[in-house]
Structure 1
Amino acid sequence: MASVVPLCSAFAAQDTGSTRQALRLLYLAGKRTADNSEKEVTENHVRGAKEELDQSKVIEGMQKLTTQGHAVLISLASHAAKGETPVRTRDPIRHPLHQKNFQLILLIHSMIPHRNFSVTSPSMPRD
């Protein structure tokens, strides 16, 4: 247990420097320990908690993307899957997935749960 508090602090310092994040990591590590019916929090629990926290941040960020953001993400993922990275800025826009399958992108986008989501047209100012 003595080594997990500094590890939580180090992970938090590398990311945001937030004490709250360090406490969140320690809490999640403790939850993992309890879920496994173990008695002591280990560095492996902290590392697992960090992975869980990092993954939830990525998912939350993806959920907040606009339709256009999802289109770019899908296009970049397509390029990456084909080994076509790094990608120039104009390449995703010209990619056939973006041009020919925008309806598919909209369908996928409509299936993703969103928080605080709104769509604006280019002529409408964003808040």
Structure 2
Amino acid sequence: MRAAVVALTVLFIGADTADLEYEVQLRKDFEEFQEKAEALAADKGVTSPDRLIPVLMNRRSLWINGAGTGFFERLNSGHWIEKVPDGVPNLFLESSRTEAYVALGRVDRTKTRVRLYDAKCDVMLNGKGEFKTFYKGSWER
């Protein structure tokens, strides 16, 4: 027992407890999302993750980039999915909403942040630096 306590203490030395709890919660949310998506895909025979979870939300639930090659769509529980041309979807969690934009944080260790405005999408990569415009686009609903 003492060895286990010592091992855990060494493991968490220098770790920020709040960051660790945040990472654990994000992992749980992502695993729950994956389970629901797989269950819906099996049930409905849908193979595309884009629209597996039907959502009836208020305005600003679908943002499409101007080139028409990708979009951000709101799912249940404050989650968003980004569909990009390479076909690999990215999962985000809504962190706030203002009149100007919807703020999202990527559900992984990259700490990438996104702000979806009426006419553009600003991104802060790895949680560092300033937001930069990545896409022009608009809200479809």
Q: Which structure: larger Rg?
A: 1
TM more than 0.5: no
Q: TM-score, normalised by structure 2?
A: 0.25
Q: TM-score, normalised by structure 1?
A: 0.27
Q: Which has the higher contact order (CA 8 A, sep 6+)?
A: 1
Q: Give the structure with the higher percent helix.
A: 1
Q: Give the structure with the higher percent strand.
A: 2
